[in-house]
Structure 1
Amino acid sequence: MVSTTERHKHDAPEPRRGRGRRGSGGRRRRPRTPRHTPGDIVRGVVRTIGEILLTAGLLMLFYASYEVYGGQWETEREQEELAQGLEEVWAAQEEEESEPGPESEPLPGSADSRLYLPSLDLDWVVVNGTTPQDILNSPGHYTEYDSEPGVAGNYSVAAHRTPGLFWDIDQLEDGDVMVLEDAENFYTYEVFEEQTVLPTDVWVIEPDPFDDASDEEPERSLITLTTCAPKLNNTHRLIVWAELTETTPKSEGMPESIAHMAPDAEEDEE
């Protein structure tokens, strides 16, 4: 027989594991908070500084890209307005069959001519004057000397070294052509020389910069392009010269060299 005492021992429930510790201590131990070592702190600071520098670098890159390329949109918009105004002036002159008198002077900032660089597939309306405001979004015609397209002298033009303006004129080579357009004619010039000079070398825009006897009337008809060099800097000036080789009346249509740049040609391609 099993005694009552032994039966109670067998029937009693077994104690659950883990209760002994909780019962003895009353509370569980909290997990220890990891301590930051000096190395952890240094790595955190370096990581934070790196993220700040990376963000600043990206912002500077975006700003530089806008400075270089963002202005091109404004240039294109202003060129469209100038082109429309120039066509209206030329149309009015043709209807009236009159030209400004010899004593009249071009207004600063007003449209003067159109310049084509077919090898670069670029063209612009050229305004009178080379002040910062004049050439903000257009090439500007130097007015220090009397000069007109197609006549003896030096028709000099300045523009910023930015996309949309004279960014790529360093790609012009000897034999490439430039075309100037006025109310009556197209004037074709051929590139024959390029130089990089100092900003103080203003002789480059004289009536005949290759003739020391500058007091005499010039015999050649030249066009001179000037811009900053190198790109994104203004320590020097890049100069490209071209000489007149052909005059084409507008009644004969555009010269073959720029026929692909005519507005109707662009519409046919579309």
Structure 2
Amino acid sequence: MNALRATLRGFGEICITAGLVLLLFVVWQLWWTDVTAAHAQSQQTEQLQKEWADLPPHPSPSSTATPTSPATPTKLKEIPLGDAFALIRVPRFGHGYVRPIIEGTSLDVLDRGVGHYADSAKPGAVGNFAVAGHRVTYAKPFNRIDELKVGDPVVVETADTWYVYRVVGHEVVTPDRVDVVAPVPEHPGQKPTERMMTMTACHPKFSARQRYVVFSKLEQKIAKSPGVVPDVLRG
């Protein structure tokens, strides 16, 4: 009988220890990664802005986005995987919302910010500028992606240009639907003529069963200069 009690007591202690370990893991996964990632992403944002401020002035591009022939795409330099190269602002997510956009979509990249599908178009270019972000953990940049509505602005900032996209629709798809990030979203193989942006995130929250996808179209590009900010970011 004493041996049985000892066995049960030992088993109970193991269960309690396992429960505490599991609880600590959940706290780390759902809270602490948000704290550390938010701080890191804020630092990355500040670093990128500082680097841009130190650059020489760029030639002023047109303030209005107009389609160009897909035979003469915009020439943009290649971006090394893992490098931050742009910032994304979404007024629907709050006045102070800003996250770095980093080249690549591996897990280590997504843990640091919004990831850019490396084979997709660059910001403002003809084609599909496609990005992905976490909905939970690691500062969850796309946590509220399902709140975006048609007509909402999504602003991408690069070293010399503001790009203002407008949401045109959304869809929930299975993870194998890679056609949503094709040059012409959902129409792989077609030659693009428009400047699109696609945002993707896991759906529903705390699950990777599906993907929530938001499509936007470029409305305006604005040359960066002191004091110049897109109207959608004012107020």
Question: What TM bracket, shorter-length normalisation?
Answer: 0.7 to 0.9
SS of structure 1 residue aligned to 2:110: coil
| 2:124 aligned partner | 150
| CA distance in 2: counterparts of 1:133 and 1:144, whole angstroms | 18
Unaligned runs of 5+ in 2: 1-7, 60-74
Residue in structure 1 matching 2:165, options 189, 198, 205:
189
Identical aligned residues as a percent: 29
User: What is the CA deviation profile of residues 85-108 of structure 1, one whole-angstrom value per residue up to 9, with x for unaligned ones?
Assistant: 3123323432587xxxx6852111
- Structure-1-length-normalised TM-score: 0.68
Cα offset for 1:245? Answer: 1.4
CA apart distance, 1:123: 1.6
| Contact in 1 for aligned 2:130/2:181 (Cα 8 Å) | yes
- Aligned residue for 2:41, secondary structure, equals helix
Structure 1: tracts of 5 or more residues without a match = 1-45, 261-270
Give the SS at the match of 1:156.
strand
Confirm whether residue 80 of structure 1 aligns to residue 63 of structure 2: no
Say whether the 8 Å CA contact 1:198–1:237 is kept in structure 2.
Answer: yes
Determine which of 161, 166, 171 is the counterpart of 2:135: 161
TM-score (norm 2): 0.77
Give the counterpart of 1:139 among 114, 132, 139.
114
- Cα separation, partners in 2 of 1:95 and 1:190, compared to 1, 3 Å: closer
User: Which of the residues 88, 92, 106 maps onto 1:115?
Assistant: 88
Please give the alpha-carbon distance, in whole angstroms, between the structure 1 residues aligned to 2:90 and 2:77. 29
Structure 2 contact 179–187 (Cα < 8 Å) conserved: no
How far apart in 2 are the matches of 1:222 and 1:179? 12
Identify if the C-alpha distance between structure 1 residues 134 and 243 changes in structure 2 by more than 3 Å, giving closer, same or farther: same
Secondary structure at the residue paired with 2:156? strand
CA distance in 2, matches of 1:95, 1:226: 33
Distance 1:105 1:153, change over 3 A: same
**Closer, same or farther in 2 for the Cα pair 1:67/1:87, shift >3 Å?**
same
Query: 1:173 aligns to what?
Result: 149
1:244 matched to 2:213: no
Give the alignment of 1:197-208 within 5 angstroms.
197-208=173-184
Does the aligned pair in 2 maintain the 1:176–1:190 contact within 8 Å? yes
Aligned length: 216
Q: Deviations over 1:116-167 (max 9, x none)?
A: 111111220101111122222211111113x121222111111122252212
Q: CA deviation at 1:257?
A: 1.8
Q: Contact 2:130 / 2:198 at 8 angstroms: preserved in 1?
A: yes
Ranked by relative contact order (alpha carbons within 8 Å, sequence separation 6 or more), the top structure is 2
Distance 2:123 2:108 in 1: 23
Q: Which residue of 2 aligns with 1:222?
A: 196
Aligned to 2:103: 128
* Counterpart-to-counterpart distance in 2, 1:103 and 1:142: 15
Aligned to 1:32: none
Q: Which moved more, 1:156-165 or 1:49-58?
A: 49-58
Instruction: Provide the residue aligned with 2:5 in structure 1.
Output: none
